[in-house]
């Protein structure tokens, strides 16, 4: 019984810490936006090359 109570307290502490981290250190997803923009440019380049190579 004692270990179950302590284990539950540890889980609650971890959940609280995750919530606290999310509040003080919000997710910075600017790198994701940058990567997506670069991928869009790469896709456009590939499409242009394949369209140019396609026989008319």
Q: In this structure, what are the phi and psi dihedrals at residue 51, rounded to the nearest 5 degrees?
A: -70, -40
pLDDT of residue 39: 95
Total number of domains in the chain: 1
pLDDT of residue 48: 94
Range of the domain at 33: 2-53
pLDDT of residue 30: 83
pLDDT of residue 52: 86
Q: Has this prediction a pTM greater than 0.75?
A: no
Question: Which residues in the chain land under pLDDT 70?
Answer: 1-12, 16-27, 56
Q: Residues 3-17, buried b or exposed e (16+ Cβ, 10 A)?
A: eeeeeeeeeeeeeee
Rounded Cα gap, residues 17 and 21, in angstroms: 6
């Amino acid at each position: 019984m004692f270990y179950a109570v302590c284990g539950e307290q540890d889980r609650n502490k971890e959940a609280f810490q995750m919530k606290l981290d999310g509040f003080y250190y919000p997710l910075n997803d600017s790198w994701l936006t940058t990567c997506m923009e670069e991928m869009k440019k790469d896709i456009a380049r590939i499409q242009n090359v394949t369209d140019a190579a396609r026989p008319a």
